[in-house]
């Protein structure tokens, strides 16, 4: 079955990205161990941040590498014409968070919070350092995965026969993702996700939302099959005891999940919104802000005000596929023959 084979390719791609995230986290533990509880910010800007920054850049590049090959192979398995003049440029996906913040600024937020916790709320420095470690490791996994996902979406944009993608969930998917399993989205649609979401898109052709896809008994694209393959304990944990009981009794999964009115809805992330300015202003003096800003600019090697558009922002701003490909090319995410990109 074609879709099943394409899903296997998607699962292999998910594993590549998980591996990239694991490597980043292992490297980061080395740098985080150098965080000095008695001088959190001093050690942060000294050794720790440059190390974390380099490691995350490398991880994002690693996760974006292989996106073009993945889209070409999965599209071919789906019976689509996989030829394209464009290739994803993996390095372009490193250096910014998915919401457009510079990495240095995003990574520094937990350190700033830790300093506040110690100085204003009297928390112990050792506790604060532990919080920094946890937050940074979660960010690293999330941003690495987003680079991989963004690169695949850019690769799909550059492959004209791909007109949509099917949402493929991963083991352990939460209930909000579970109900979206197997759903078809237009190729340019935002990939709705949450922090640490591990869903991935399988390139697909036209045809809209195929109910038939969702009836394939493969748990990666079928909410019901996913639910059934879970243990009773996991069903209760992920869907709530009452919800799981109702689904076991035959209730419709989406209506059970939607009835729970989740506080955290899946949504697209904002781009270019929060910079270090909004995270430090109001709670710190001007001199402190300059200190933080200088530290970040030293690590970035550029003024913080000169930001590049994220792929997500470009998707949102473009009127059509032509313009999108042109903008992705101009911002360095897609490479192809220069003549091609200039002509568009």
Residues near Zn ion, by CB under 5 A:
174, 177, 197
177 or 299: CB nearest Zn ion: 177
196 or 302: CB nearest Zn ion: 196
How many alpha carbons fall within 13 Å on the CB side of residue 157? 30
Helix ranges restricted to H, 33-81: 40-43, 49-64, 67-77
Minimum distance from CB of 117 to Zn ion (Å)? 29
Minimum distance from CB of 173 to Zn ion (Å)? 5
Q: Quick one: tokens of 106?
A: 């995003």
Q: Quick one: tokens of 331?
A: 């911002």
Minimum distance from CB of 174 to Zn ion (Å)? 4
Separation of alpha carbons 214 and 255, rounded Å? 16
Residue 231 burial by CB count (10 A; 0-12/13-18/19+): exposed, middle or buried? exposed
Q: Which 8-state DSSP code applies to residue 47?
A: I
124 or 262: CB nearest Zn ion: 262
Strands 87-88 and 184-186 come out as: unpaired
Contacts (Cβ under 8 Å, ≥6 apart) of 322: 344
Minimum distance from CB of 328 to Zn ion (Å)? 27
Minimum distance from CB of 287 to Zn ion (Å)? 42
194 or 248: CB nearest Zn ion: 194
What residue is closest to Zn ion based on CB? 177
114 or 177: CB nearest Zn ion: 177
Closest to 115 in 3D by CA, of 38, 52, 32: 38
Minimum distance from CB of 194 to Zn ion (Å)? 6
Separation of alpha carbons 175 and 135, rounded Å? 24
239 or 333: CB nearest Zn ion: 239
Closest to 62 in 3D by CA, of 134, 141, 135: 141
């Amino acid at each position: 079955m074609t879709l099943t084979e394409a899903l296997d390719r998607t699962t292999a791609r998910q594993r590549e990205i998980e591996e990239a995230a694991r490597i980043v986290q292992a490297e980061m533990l080395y740098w985080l161990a150098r965080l000095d509880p008695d001088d959190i910010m001093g050690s942060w800007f000294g050794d720790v941040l440059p190390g974390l920054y380099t490691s995350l850049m490398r991880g994002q590049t690693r996760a974006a590498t292989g996106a073009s090959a993945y889209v070409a192979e999965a599209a071919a398995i789906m019976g689509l014409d996989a030829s394209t003049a464009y290739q994803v440029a993996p390095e372009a996906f490193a250096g910014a968070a998915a919401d457009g913040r510079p990495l240095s600024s995003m990574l520094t937020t937990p350190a700033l919070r830790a300093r506040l916790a110690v100085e204003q709320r009297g928390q112990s420095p050792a506790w604060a350092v532990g919080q920094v470690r946890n937050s940074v490791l979660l960010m690293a996994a999330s941003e690495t995965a987003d680079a991989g996902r963004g690169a695949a979406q850019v690769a799909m944009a550059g492959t004209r026969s791909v007109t949509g993608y099917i949402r493929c969930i991963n083991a352990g998917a939460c209930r909000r993702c579970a109900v979206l399993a197997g759903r078809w989205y237009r190729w340019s649609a935002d990939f709705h996700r949450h922090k640490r979401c591990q869903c991935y898109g399988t390139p697909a052709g036209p045809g809209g939302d195929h109910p038939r896809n969702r009836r394939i008994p493969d748990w990666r694209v079928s909410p019901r099959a996913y639910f059934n393959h879970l243990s009773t304990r996991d069903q209760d944990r992920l869907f709530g005891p009452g919800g799981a009981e109702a689904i076991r009794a035959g209730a419709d999964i989406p209506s059970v999940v939607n009835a729970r009115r989740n506080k955290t809805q899946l949504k697209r992330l904002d781009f270019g919104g929060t910079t270090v300015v909004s995270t430090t202003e109001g709670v710190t003096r001007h001199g402190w802000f300059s200190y933080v800003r200088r530290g970040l600019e030293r690590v970035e090697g550029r003024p913080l005000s000169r930001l590049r558009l994220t792929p997500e922002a470009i998707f949102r701003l473009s009127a059509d596929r032509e313009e999108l490909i042109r903008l992705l090319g101009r911002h360095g995410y897609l490479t192809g023959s220069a003549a091609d990109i200039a002509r568009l």
